[in-house]
Chains A and B, each alone.
Chain A
Amino acid sequence: MAYANASEHAHHDTDHNQPPTGIKRWLFATNHKDIGTMYLLFSLTMFFVGGTMAMMIRAELFQPGLQLFDPVFFNQLTTNHGLIMIFGAIMPAFVGLANWMIPLQIGAPDMALPRMNNLSFWILPFAFTLLLGSLFVPGGASAGGWTMYPPLSLQAGDSFPMLIFAIHLMGASSIMGAINVIVTIMNMRAPGMNLLKMPLFTWSWLITAYLLIAVMPVLAGAVTMLLTDHFFGTSFFNPAGGGDPVMFEHVFWFFGHPEVYIMILPAFGIISEILPTFSRKPLFGATSMIYAIASIGFLSFIVWAHHMFADGMPVAAQLFYMMTTMLIAVPTGVKIFNWTATMWRGSLTFEPPMLFAIAFMFLFSIGGFSGVMLAIVPADFQYNQTYFVVAHFHYVLVPGSLFAIMGAVYYWLPKWTGHMYNMTLAKTHFWLSAIFVNVLFFPQHFLGLAGMPRRIPDYAVQFTDWNMVSSIGGFSFGLSQILFAIVIIQCIRGGKKATAEVWEGTHPTGLEWTIPSPAPFHSFSTAPDIK
């Protein structure tokens, strides 16, 4: 272990296979499993924080009129709900899964850069302390939307620099995580594990990591320009000084659109792991699945302006961005068809991970359909900035990314803890989530089409009924997630012993199923044989 320093050496020699005890185990963690666990628990915490904000938003929107919050605080809620769910819940969950599973899937003893791994995790609590702390400074937290469009985002109080530095920290953390993933995959695969033999989850993360490295610096640049506009008299986005507020939108969405795929490509990888296992049949068209992920990754860089059609654009640009956006439906369709073909002539069982994967296929497709609708430029002028868009991106992020994460947790949790979890409770969690996510988000399509703009704290009375339905769905969905936490806590504490294969009788493929459950603190110290 070349990276162990002298003082730790004695410790390592005597107690190599046991983790250090107490708080030091976590503060100084370099083990990919410990860091993965911390990422996942952090993500779960942020999921409940951001979820609480969502409940507050739905409570204010339960009926017309302002009952609970001042509009400024409402805007703070929507802004921070978005930032926390994207940067605090979804992304760290995927990084946590990458930390746990990539070394296990490629037969590596750990991530390639364990100390950087420690740093990239421990930055996050500071970043979110800054972000959440901004709720308590004079003027309150940022209220300009998670997209931070100037000049509005510049009309902020003391929270503004806190937001910017929080984003810088999150970006640094993401870039380090992405570098670690790439270096690990490129250098530490077991002998014989060539790229095309690599499991789909690892593949999806390899492409995601490149997207992260490409776009997180762009976001950092954009917010730094906001910072200098605010404090140092520059005019990047200030028209009075010759600047251009639309340029921010271009720079932001050049980050923002690949970001959307950063939050869905690992989900595609997860679904491609779960479906074959519970269909008892290999993934259909594995190679074309990899090409599909890669094409989606490429296309994500040339569609960004579809977020901005209503801001005014030459006809040629409207046509270009419409067509590239529609093209994304092709590789995404290939994925859905290949997954369906994976189940075809399979032998299906419906354990909790499989239930989440199946719900993903249906509900993510609905988000995909509304995505195609939004790509139709003239129609986009009506949909844009309404609840139709809110419904669209929540369909791809909640029953999309989030369901994939939950499926992944239910799939690998016994491998992590060594215990089977309460299947009945997990299935109850699934059914409540799958039903209420639709009660929550489907009516938002109607609201948007009927003309309700997004990001408003109060609305005209004709929108009352569907808002009530949506709020009831929201509260129910939120409460159902407590079951998720209960299942996880119970499973960490104990339960029926899990075997190495965990999912008896499905014969899951992948190196992670060849090691015992729970996975030992150090695994694959000698490289496994790949046939």
Chain B
Amino acid sequence: MAGILNSKITTLAQKSLDFRSKRHDVLASNVANMSTPGYQAEDLVFESTLAAAMNADQPGPLKTTNSRHLDGRNTPPLELAQAQRIHSAAPHPSENGNTVDLDKEMAKIAENQMMYNASLRMLQHEFRMLKTAISEGR
């Protein structure tokens, strides 16, 4: 199940990097379209999906006596977790129907970038540990 190269941390970091770069796409689109009439600001949410998927291999609330029984849990495993695309409308859209709030978008880009770097560092750390093990601590 969890081998040395596909541990849960590696999969989580990989999934998180994937989502962060997609979210960056969406946020960059919002900034590019900040003066397009009628454009609706969008965002990707995935934190809750990822958190739920982390525990997807725990047994569900129903008792199973056969491997083909369903255990009543319907969270997808980490590998199949999907982000949701939502409209992140500003409370006061401008008169041309555009709902992009530039300050919010720039803050989101900065936050997303930091979280991306955090995931990257987590992955780097994981690899460094592997390397230490492979080289017998030398």
Q: Do A and B come from one complex?
A: no
